[in-house]
Amino acid sequence: MTVMSYIEAINRAMKEEMRRDDDVFLLGEDVGKRGGVFRASEGLYEEFGEARVIDTPLAESAIVGVGIGASMYGMKPIAEIQFVDFILPAVNQIISEAAKMRYRSNNDWSCPITIRAPYGGGVHGALYHSQSLEALFASQPGLKIVMPSSPKDALGLLKAAIRDPDPVLYFEHKKAYRLLKEDIPDEEVLIEIGKANTVREGDDLTVITYGLCVEFSKKAAEKLATQGYEVELVDLRTVYPLDEQAIIEAAKKTGKVLLITEDNKEGSIISEVSAIIAEHCLFDLDAPIFRLAAPNVPAMPYAPPLEKAFMVSEDKVYEKMLEVAQY
């Protein structure tokens, strides 16, 4: 076992996969000599050289599009987008091309690319360095989206994403990078894509979330336990396609459900989770489905009071849990 931060786990996953398979390579802005603006690729340029750790021109559509082309040859590119906010110039490549490649060629071509991007708020990043954009891609069959909530998951899910035969979007929370640390086995860690994880068991209410909100929820659940309410906490891990079975079972178990995301509420990942529960669990519910999310304003403002008002936090989670528990 070794204590690792979330960003160290990401770094380890890339190193291990690049050592294991010569076809794996990294491309993106400032990923080489600088080791990434957050240092996620620290040491990779030194170990694997500039041919496999490629500093690209500043053009996201090319980073993804070139990655797609190389993956069609059989390479295993990891395309890094510096902030998920800057993935938008590449959306055409992701949605028109990566998502549809296998289907449109009737299984003739495929595109095993991993697209990594930091997301999330609470870091004074303002409108364009704080967003959660997973919902944008979560209605596109052909894509998979994973969003780890812990260092161990960050390691196991990234390795699985790189090995996956289809395009995977891997969104990593930038606030989690150095905030979260845990003991991780030194042996290989692989976590299956498409499977949710029960982080905590309880009988009083079910909380389903993902990403950094899992951490807020873990802490809030501990506090809630002192009030006599036990939370069943499910981490989606893969937010698209969703693990329907796990969602249904968890909702049925307690009959009270709170869904949490730091993304805007409307049309979010948890909107779909809510629809799944509504379809399958109507007669098992003892309360309406509750959602806690960012307000419907375009993105997180910079000034601290506004950022705080926008961002989901441990306190906001706790208050909402208590409300649901007492319903």
Partner 1 sequence: MSEKNQILTDRQLLDMFYYMLLARRSDERMWLLNRSGKIPFVVSCQGQEAMQVASSFALAKGVDYTAPYYRDVGVVLTMGMTVKELFLQAFAKAEDPNSGGRQMPGHFGHRKLNMLSGSSPVTTQVPHAVGMALALKMKQQPAVSFVTLGEGSSNQGDFHEGLNFASVHDLPVIVMVENNQYAISCGIEQQVNCAKISDRALGYGIHGETVDGNDPVAVYTAVKAARERALNGEGPSLIEAVGYRLTPHSSDDNDLTYRTKEEVNAAKEKDGLIIFRQQLKKQGILTDELESGYESKIKALIDEATTYADEAPYADEQTLFDGVYHQ
Ligand X SMILES: Cc1ncc(C[n+]2csc(CCOP(=O)(O)OP(=O)(O)O)c2C)c(N)n1
37, two tokens: 């603006």
| Residues at the contact surface with ligand X, assessed by CB under 6 A | 29, 58, 60, 82, 86, 89
User: x/- contact string, 82-121, with partner 1 (CB under 8 A)?
Assistant: ---xx-xx--------------------------------
| CB nearer to partner 1: pick between 36 and 202 | 36
What whole-number distance in Å separates Cα of residue 211 and Cα of residue 241?
16
Cβ distance 312 to 262 under 8 Å?
yes
Give the residue with the Cβ less far from partner 1, 75 or 127.
127
Q: Which residue in 45, 142, 147 sits closest to 98, CA to CA?
A: 142
Stretch that binds partner 1, among 124-132, 152-160, 205-213, 254-262 (CB under 8 A): 124-132
Which of ligand X, partner 1, none has residue 59 at its interface (CB below 5 to 8 Å by kind)?
partner 1
Q: Are 260 and 312 in contact (CB under 8 A)?
A: yes
Phi, psi of 113 (to 5 degrees): -100, 145
Q: Please, what is the end-to-end C-alpha distance for the chain in angstroms? A: 42
Taking the complex as a whole, how short is the minimal distance between the CB of residue 252 and ligand X, in angstroms?
44
DSSP state of 143: B
> Least distance to ligand X from the beta carbon of 208, Å?
32
SS3 216: helix
* 285 touching partner 1, by CB under 8 A: no
| Contact region with partner 1 (CB under 8 A), list: 7-15, 66-74, 227-235, 307-315 | 307-315
x-or-dash string of contact with partner 1, 41-80, rule CB under 8 A: --------------x-xxx-xx------------------
- What span, in angstroms and rounded, lies between the C-alpha atoms of 257 and 321? 9
Q: Which of 46, 47, 297, 319 binds partner 1 (CB under 8 A)?
A: 297
Enumerate residues 6+ apart whose C-beta is below 8 A from 50.
32
The position carrying tokens 């400032």 is: 30
Enter the tokens of residue 304: 């601290």
According to CB under 8 A, which residues from 172 to 201 bind partner 1? none
List active site positions. Answer: 129
Residues forming the site for partner 1 (CB under 8 A): 29-30, 32-35, 37, 55, 57-59, 61-62, 85-86, 88-89, 124-129, 295-298, 301-306, 308-310
